[in-house]
């Protein structure tokens, strides 16, 4: 440890309170950042899924369109064949040939009718798919709007918090200088042990501000005197009086 000025207990307490308030602000920044990136990546996943769905609908539309085109071509070919049959029927030699040709013509006409029905059904299906595609496009554009908004928000927060974080880290270092190594060690240890990261707490309503264990009046007077560091017997947190705690405000420019 470097040469350190011998700080009074009160100065150490002030340093600890500052440190706690700065570290709590740093914790809040982390929470703030921690949620938005997840929201953004969830949205990106969702949009990717929507694009995949859109792709499938487009493929189905292409498939149906090809089917319709195929049927239309078949009808055209059928009509050409019918014309050929009609010409042939002008030159038939006997009734057997005539009957056979007539049967072919009937078959061809029936096939064309069936193809027309298939086209009609496929067109109905195509209409539904086009509607689904339109809905899918709208959904994508609305989600993309939300995503862009969230991304901008995130970028803003990152830009803002980066500056704030730097300032806070600087303040944290300054506050640490006024607290001796032994106290810092227990401060860091307690902070790690509790999820809310509180290591220095004020006495509130005659109880520890960390675990709500009652603090007897005698100990409260000791705490108010600032002559020694008092820790909560139940949770081990460093205790301060509310007045000293409230008098310290962390300001960042």
Nearer Cβ to Zn ion (57/200): 200
Contact between 188 and 200 (Cβ < 8 Å): no
Nearest to 119 by CA among 71, 78, 63: 71
Residue 211 as a binder of Zn ion (CB under 5 A): the answer is yes
Q: Which among 50-58, 67-75, 153-161, 233-241 is the span making contact with Zn ion, rule CB under 5 A?
A: 233-241
Exactly one of 14, 22, 57, 235 binds Zn ion (CB under 5 A); that residue is 235
Shortest Cβ 12–Zn ion spacing (Å) = 19
Please, what is the end-to-end C-alpha distance for the chain in angstroms? 31
Alpha-carbon distance 82 to 99, whole Å?
Answer: 15
Residue 186 as a binder of Zn ion (CB under 5 A): the answer is no
Please count the other Cβ atoms lying within 10 Å of the Cβ belonging to residue 120. Answer: 11
Residue 210 as a binder of Zn ion (CB under 5 A): the answer is yes
Residue 101 as a binder of Zn ion (CB under 5 A): the answer is no
Exactly one of 75, 208, 229, 238 binds Zn ion (CB under 5 A); that residue is 208
Alpha-carbon distance 235 to 190, whole Å?
Answer: 9
Residue 198 as a binder of Zn ion (CB under 5 A): the answer is no
Nearer Cβ to Zn ion (180/204): 204
CA distances to 44, 59, 68, 133, 136 from 128, rounded to whole Å, are 27, 14, 15, 9, 12
Q: How many residues bind Zn ion (CB under 5 A)?
A: 8
Where on the chain is the footprint of Zn ion (CB under 5 A)? 208, 210-211, 213, 232, 234-235, 237
């Amino acid at each position: 440890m470097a040469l350190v000025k011998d700080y009074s207990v009160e100065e150490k307490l002030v340093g600890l309170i500052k440190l706690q308030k700065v570290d709590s602000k740093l914790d809040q920044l982390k929470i703030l950042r921690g949620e938005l990136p997840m929201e953004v990546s969830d949205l990106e996943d969702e949009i990717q899924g929507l694009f995949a769905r859109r792709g499938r609908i487009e493929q189905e539309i292409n498939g149906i369109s090809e089917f319709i085109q195929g049927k239309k071509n078949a009808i055209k070919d059928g009509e050409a064949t019918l014309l050929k049959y009609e010409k042939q029927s002008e030159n038939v030699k006997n009734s057997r040939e005539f009957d056979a040709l007539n049967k072919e013509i009937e078959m061809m006409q029936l096939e064309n009718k069936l193809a027309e029905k298939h086209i009609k059904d496929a067109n109905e299906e195509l209409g539904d798919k086009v509607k689904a595609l339109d809905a899918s496009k709208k959904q994508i554009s609305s989600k993309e709007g939300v995503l862009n908004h969230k991304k901008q928000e995130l970028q803003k927060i990152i830009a803002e918090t980066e500056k704030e974080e730097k300032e806070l880290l600087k303040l944290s270092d300054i506050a640490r200088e006024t607290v001796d190594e032994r106290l810092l060690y227990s401060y860091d240890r307690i902070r790690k042990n509790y999820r809310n990261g509180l290591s220095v707490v004020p006495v509130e309503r005659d109880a520890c501000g960390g675990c709500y264990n009652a603090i007897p009046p005698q100990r409260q007077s000791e705490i108010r005197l600032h002559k020694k560091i008092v820790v909560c017997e139940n949770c081990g947190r460093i205790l301060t009086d509310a007045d000293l705690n409230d008098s310290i405000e962390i300001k960042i420019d």
